[in-house]
Amino acid sequence: MISDNLKKVQEKINFTCQKIGRNPEGIILVAVTKNVPVEKIKEVIFLDVINIGENRVQEALKKYSELAISHQPSAISQVKWHLVGHLQKNKVKYALKIFDLIHSVDDFELAEEIDKQAKKIGKIQDCLIEIKVSPEVTKYGCPPEPEEVKKLIERISELANIRIRGLMAMAPFFEKSEETRPYFRQAFECYSLLATRYSLTYLSMGMSNDFTIALEEGANMLRIGTAIFK
Read off the pLDDT band of 73 (50, 70, 90). low
Domain residue spans of the chain: 2-14+27-229
Whole-number pLDDT of residue 78: 87
Read off the pLDDT of residues 181-216 as tens digits, 9 standing for 90 and up.
999 999 999 999 999 999 999 999 999 999 999 999
Q: For residue 30, what is the enclosing H or E element?
A: strand 28-32
Whole-number pLDDT of residue 155: 98
141, 133 in Cβ contact below 8 A?
yes
Lowest-pLDDT range, 28-42, 67-81, 87-101, 207-221? 67-81
Whole-number pLDDT of residue 116: 98
Q: Is the pLDDT of residue 23 over 70?
A: yes
Read off the pLDDT of residues 128-152 as tens digits, 9 standing for 90 and up.
999 999 998 888 999 999 999 999 9
Q: Is the pLDDT of residue 153 over 90?
A: yes
DSSP 53: E
CATH class of 2-14+27-229: alpha beta
Read off the pLDDT band of 218 (50, 70, 90). very high
Whole-number pLDDT of residue 220: 98
128/116 Cα distance (integer angstroms): 17
Crossing angle of helices 108-120 and 146-156, in 10° steps, is 20
Can you tell me the mean pLDDT for 101-121? 98
Can you tell me the mean pLDDT for 35-47? 94
